[in-house]
Amino acid sequence: MSQNFASPTIAMPRVAADIMTRQVVSVTPTATVRDVARLLLTHRISAVPVLDTDGAPVGMVSEGDLLGRSDTDRLAGHDWWLALLAGPDAAAPAVTDAAAARPVSEVMHAPVVTIEADAPVAAVAETLAAHEIKRLPVMRNGQMIGIVSRADLLAVVARLAAPAPPATHRSGLAGLFLDLIGNAAHLAPTHAGPAPETTGTKAGERPPAAPAASTFRALVAASDQSRQDAKQQAARTAELERLRQVKALLQLHLDTEMWESLLAHASDAAAHGAEEMLLLRFPSELCSDGGRKIGVPETGWETTLRGEPADLYDRWARELKPHGFGLAARILDFPGGKPGDIGLFLTWRI
């Protein structure tokens, strides 16, 4: 006797929260390089996120960051790593102590790229590939709740490679409609020619069933969900584009020609009665804290600047501040309730 067994249905992960690692080892910006090195060695991991006092990620530090990027850094890093492995009693040269005592905020990668917990698994893969990174902190309501890595994605790929049971329903709005009306189409009689006209119901036949209001409500819900999915996809696409823009902006620096052009525009603005001028508008992600200190505002906001904004601040401090010019930083918009673009304004009010 033969027996047929139904293939088990495997629940596939859909969003970042489904595949992330929930128990995450992290450090604060004040932790030393030596502290991070010990954590990496103890937990057999290759990187840790750096969290501020609110639990939000402000950077990521990996083995490569600890060892340094230049030849000099790598040599010093190699020395202190060997000393650390040799034990606390091993003699360590001065360069070893100096390298190991640096705060992790000086070597971490910032700003850190993150992803929302409800982002699709495909968006996780796209973000990792777009930024050429190996891991992403997973966020919910501004808090890191886990981390997702390339290894987590490989596990998903392995599950997808397994044979899947045949589909039993169609997806999308049209699919839902076909599922709701069932298989009536293949039960209807076929005709060689056009169906004969009828003026009523023959004796013994049931009249066509009236559509149920619940069916229409389900169609409305499916339509709403389709629009919501499209809206979320557009938001994810915009976010990926914004992150690519931030990555490109981090490589830009303020040159002399641009600086002189900005000063000329500021002089023209003053001649027309203005008391300030917007020098630069940039995404808040260019700040190592995502613009938090500027939004509060809080002392030391200038230390969070990266790339061209940092160059502009330094140029102002050296050339304009001694002559009475001010520089103000403001959040210009709050998309989704979060800091969006930031503006740096040159001021000359009395």
pLDDT tens by residue, 239-269: 767 667 766 666 667 888 889 999 999 999 9
Q: Residue 209's pLDDT is what?
A: 61
pLDDT tens by residue, 284-312: 888 888 888 898 888 889 988 888 888 89
Structure-token pair, residue 111: 């700003």
Walk me through the domains of the chain, giving residue ranges and CATH numbers. 16-160 (3.10.580.10), 256-347 (no CATH)
Q: Nearest Cα to 56, choosing from 22, 21, 26, 17?
A: 26
Q: Nearest Cα to 336, choosing from 269, 289, 290?
A: 290
- List phi, psi (to 5°) of 181: -85, -5
Model pTM score: 0.46
pLDDT tens by residue, 181-195: 344 444 344 444 444
pLDDT tens by residue, 28-43: 888 888 888 888 888 8
pLDDT tens by residue, 78-129: 445 545 544 554 444 544 566 677 888 888 877 788 888 888 888 888 888 7
> CA geometry: angle at 343 spanning 339 and 348, to 5°?
140
Beta bridge partners of 5: none
Residue with tokens 């991991």: 45
CA dihedral in degrees (241, 327, 297, 102; nearest 10)?
A: 80
Q: Residue 63's pLDDT is what?
A: 78
